[in-house]
Amino acid sequence: MDKKFEYQFDSSLGILFKCYYGLIDIEDIVSSWEYAFENNLIPKQGKGFVLDYRNSNFNIKIEEYTAIVDFYKKHLDIFGGFKIAIITEEARDIVIPILVETKDDGYSSKPFSTLEAATKWVLG
């Protein structure tokens, strides 16, 4: 099985960086978070998350974006009060994070095109 995601926690920043690879669908997003939960990869002292999709593309139908929102809301014990920055470079991939942002409730998400801007927002 090819690697579709990897995690790196930067303790000096308090940010969990999560990088995705290849075509990513809803199941990949859900299973990658479940993997992080099961393996205690999400530190309690974190400030937020940077989800990097620059080496991947979404294979998600527009109407499926609500599954991402529902997942975050179901797990407010993990995501509640945190900022979730989503990095995409391709125009066709920015639609999903923009739609997710419109439904934020209990957490904050925002799309970005650079790592620097995403990190600055999470820390701000």
pLDDT for 46 equals: 86
Per the structure, the complete domain to which residue 62 belongs is given by: 5-123
Looking at residue 2, its pLDDT comes to 67
The CATH number that applies at residue 44 is 3.30.750.24
Phi, psi of 9 (to 5 degrees): -100, 125
Answer yes or no: are the C-beta atoms of 88 and 124 closer than 8 Å: no
pLDDT at 41: 92
Number of domains in the chain: 1
Closest of 37, 39, 44, 42 to residue 17, by C-alpha: 42
Q: Look up the pTM and report it.
A: 0.94
Q: List residues bridging with 87 in a β-sheet.
A: 52, 112
DSSP state of 53: E
pLDDT mean for each 10 residues of the chain (124 residues): 86 96 96 95 90 96 96 96 96 94 97 98 96
